[in-house]
Structure 1
Amino acid sequence: MTAAAHIPAPPMSRTLQGIICVVAGMVLFVGQDIMMKGMLTQYPVWMLIFVRSMAALCTLLPLVLWLGAPHRIWTPLWPWYLARAILFASGFACFYAAFPFMGLAEVITLFFSAPLMTATLAAIFLQEKIGLHRAGALLVGFIGVVIAVDPTSGNFGWIAVLPLLCALTYAVSQTIVRRIGEQDTSLTVGLYTISFSGVVIVPIGFAVSALLEITPELDHLRMSWPLPSLEGVLMLAVLGCVGTAAYTLVSRAYQIANASVIAPFDYSYLPLAGLLAFLLWGEVPPSSTLIGMVLIVGSGMYTAWRELRVPREETETMPIAQTVFTPGAPAVMREDALDAEAVLLDEDGEKIT
């Protein structure tokens, strides 16, 4: 009995670690976006994106320097990452610009059309195979998007297009990552994407504020950056730290666990965001949004379930639709991880513990 008490507990499986990381990341991303929605009444969207990017830079740069190879500061792929940063910054500027006009659940539901768009772009430009089942799931998902947008209603306007533009730019950035391949680690990709996005958001903000007439309802798109109070500085710091922590957790999840297993847990963002929006602001999404949400989530989870059932050759590339899609998080390349149930054998065929 005494000896048994000293037996160490078995290590947590990679799959379980991945699930815990991605769910924790979703919780933090919801917190980040709720903070963004509240802070847009005081600060312009450009300032919030810039601050969040600089906070991530201050975290990731020392981490990359400390870890060293295979992470690298200089990469010849920086023009691709600059293109991704432009897509990322402009897309999420559209995403957050819609916050004052739409409920959080509505914006998020439309954004989650990104996996559908990415899978379609990958099939067109990268010749990735889409079987009959996945094609049917994509069709159902796009029907869900149309229902969520509800273009036949009298409430449809240009605001509903903004989350879709964000989803499209996000999908294009994912396709770029897929085209580049795994020549850089996820930390290097994240460092460049986040850093560049903080830089390019400034000229984007100047251009938008010059082109648009900034009325009181568009005050969150102004280019004047107010000097924050001490409390405001703390809130901005928390915003940056929460976003960086969420990004790191989700990146880690896709590095250590099979993406097809943990991808459905990305969708935990939707009900959590909807619940908190209801509790904080009394937001009740329309029935069209709820129906569209069910179809979009069902499409993504069915695709993930199919990936678990369909055997693949070791050299076959996983479909791009299984990478991470989280509001406010730059897409990351995942490294192939050992399956949690894999068994290693020595030369004599004995199991290595």
Structure 2
Amino acid sequence: MTVSTHSGEPLLSRTLQGIACVIAGMVLFVGQDILMKGMLPIYPVWMLIFVRSIVALITLLPLVLWLGAPHRILTPLWPWYLARALLFASGFAMFYAAFPFMGLAEVTTLFFAAPLMTATLASVFLQEKIGLHRIAALLVGFAGVVIAMNPTGGNFGWISILPLLCALTYAISQIIVRKIGEQDTSLVIGLYTISFSGLLIVPLGFAVTQVIVITPELNHLRMNWPVPNADGLAMLALLGTIGTVAYTLVSRAYQIASASVIAPFDYSYLPLAAILGYLLWGEIPPYTTFMGMVLIVTSGMYTAYRELRVERSAEDTPPTAQTVFTPGAPAVVLVEALDAEAVELNEFDEKLH
């Protein structure tokens, strides 16, 4: 399914632009997570997520107000968005909490179980049909997750469960958006998710610190937030800005090009994370991580290939699993986003001209 506001533009040109946008977005998302990992020894995870949400809110709220209809600040669906934000905040708190204990490639490989979980949940709760090919691809992907976790290895522990729990919360949030339907634009959904998650992360962090003992190795989960100096403020602002720009680029990629063509490039995040983790911190993932990564990527790319071969009419709805799956991004189900993004771009162009 492809949506474009420039119908005269060649399909190949739009596809190449979409690929360039999604790859650039993946590079920025890896950069965002590298910043998170590097700043965790100084700032607690709750503070980093809160600041990132505030920066994104400062960016997105004026844009929604300026664009006007069909975007709406007041929406009756806010309880659903509150639930989504709780899933997002708790999930990515667990994701980043694993950073000091695991390599970047290890954490993100386990997170990419999210599309597999979403496809499974959509089949169970939304009665989306999945054929034998997709079932086989899901089984291969889940086998990759198990291999990457290496439960029989000596280093397996409760920390390895955290990225998987993040993937599960992420998948559930996607099901919520599909269940709601096309009642709000993707920009409004993203704005509410980011805003509410920033608010919820504070009481969530407080609750966690009342349950667990903050030992030196868990110092990144403490609730006392240090006052940043000028350099610290610049780094925090950069963290939020990179995440917002990356999310915008990926959303743009899926707006101008076919989701089935673009989706495999989401997986470029994994080798980038592995390479940069090695260059910056000397992280060498175990061979089980690489084996699991290959199986997970193969599963996702085969699913995208099958989607390319399926003939769909303009009214057909693509699978819920066909979404943007990137760590730290408040992703929106593509079928909800595509038409809304087209309207957004039209109105944006009109106001510019």
Fold equivalence (TM over 0.5): yes
> Deviations 1:37-83 (Å, cap 9, x if unpaired)?
00000000000000000000000001111111111111111111000
Identical pairs, percent: 78
Q: Measure the CA separation in 2 of the matches of 1:139 and 1:274.
A: 24
Match of 1:350 in 2: none
Q: TM-score, normalised by structure 2?
A: 0.91
Match of 1:73 in 2: 73
Q: Measure the CA separation in 1 of the matches of 2:336 and 2:154.
A: 47
Corresponding letter in the other structure for 2:44: P
Q: Is the 8 A contact 2:322 2:334 kept in 1?
A: no
Match of 1:259 in 2: 259
Give the direction of change, closer, same or farther, for the CA distance of 1:335–1:152 in structure 2 (3 Å limit): closer
Point out the structure with the larger helix share: 2
Are positions 1:277 and 2:277 aligned together?
Answer: yes
Are positions 1:210 and 2:191 aligned together?
Answer: no
Q: Is the 8 A contact 1:101 1:159 kept in 2?
A: yes
Corresponding letter in the other structure for 1:238: L
Q: Is the 8 A contact 1:182 1:333 kept in 2?
A: no
Q: Measure the CA separation in 2 of the matches of 1:247 and 1:197.
A: 16
Match of 2:311 in 1: 311
Q: Measure the CA separation in 2 of the matches of 1:166 and 1:221.
A: 16
CA displacement at 1:335 relative to structure 2:
5.2
Q: TM-score, normalised by structure 1?
A: 0.91
Match of 2:324 in 1: 324
Match of 1:351 in 2: none
Instruction: Count residues with an aligned counterpart.
Output: 331
Match of 2:123 in 1: 123
Match of 2:6 in 1: none
Are positions 1:235 and 2:238 aligned together?
Answer: no
Q: Measure the CA separation in 2 of the matches of 1:54 and 1:166.
A: 21
CA displacement at 1:255 relative to structure 2:
2.1
> Deviations 1:202-224 (Å, cap 9, x if unpaired)?
00000001110000000000000
CA displacement at 1:315 relative to structure 2:
2.3
Q: Measure the CA separation in 1 of the matches of 2:127 and 2:89.
A: 27
Corresponding letter in the other structure for 1:281: W
Give the direction of change, closer, same or farther, for the CA distance of 1:337–1:153 in structure 2 (3 Å limit): closer
Q: Measure the CA separation in 1 of the matches of 2:139 and 2:77.
A: 34
Q: Measure the CA separation in 1 of the matches of 2:234 and 2:106.
A: 29
Match of 1:176 in 2: 176
Q: Measure the CA separation in 2 of the matches of 1:209 and 1:224.
A: 10
Match of 1:18 in 2: 18
Are positions 1:113 and 2:108 aligned together?
Answer: no
Q: Is the 8 A contact 2:80 2:176 kept in 1?
A: yes
Match of 2:249 in 1: 249
Q: Measure the CA separation in 1 of the matches of 2:256 and 2:44.
A: 37
Corresponding letter in the other structure for 2:192: Y
Q: Measure the CA separation in 1 of the matches of 2:325 and 2:107.
A: 14
Unaligned runs of 5+ in 2: 1-8, 339-353
Match of 2:99 in 1: 99
Give the direction of change, closer, same or farther, for the CA distance of 1:337–1:76 in structure 2 (3 Å limit): closer
Match of 1:60 in 2: 60
> Deviations 1:2-48 (Å, cap 9, x if unpaired)?
xxxxxxx9797332222111111101000000000000000000000
Kindly report the root-mean-square deviation, in angstroms, between the aligned alpha carbons of the 2 structures: 1.6
Corresponding letter in the other structure for 2:231: E
Q: Is the 8 A contact 1:257 1:337 kept in 2?
A: no
Q: Is the 8 A contact 1:41 1:220 kept in 2?
A: yes
1:322 alignment partner, SS class = coil
CA displacement at 1:314 relative to structure 2:
2.8
Q: Is the 8 A contact 1:260 1:305 kept in 2?
A: yes
Match of 2:219 in 1: 219
CA displacement at 1:304 relative to structure 2:
0.1
Give the direction of change, closer, same or farther, for the CA distance of 1:89–1:337 in structure 2 (3 Å limit): closer
Q: Is the 8 A contact 2:322 2:333 kept in 1?
A: no
Corresponding letter in the other structure for 1:168: L
Q: Is the 8 A contact 1:25 1:247 kept in 2?
A: yes
Match of 2:39 in 1: 39
Match of 2:345 in 1: none
Aligned pairs (5 A) from 1:76-91: 76-91=76-91
Q: Is the 8 A contact 1:258 1:337 kept in 2?
A: no
Q: Measure the CA separation in 1 of the matches of 2:137 and 2:10.
A: 38
1:321 alignment partner, SS class = coil
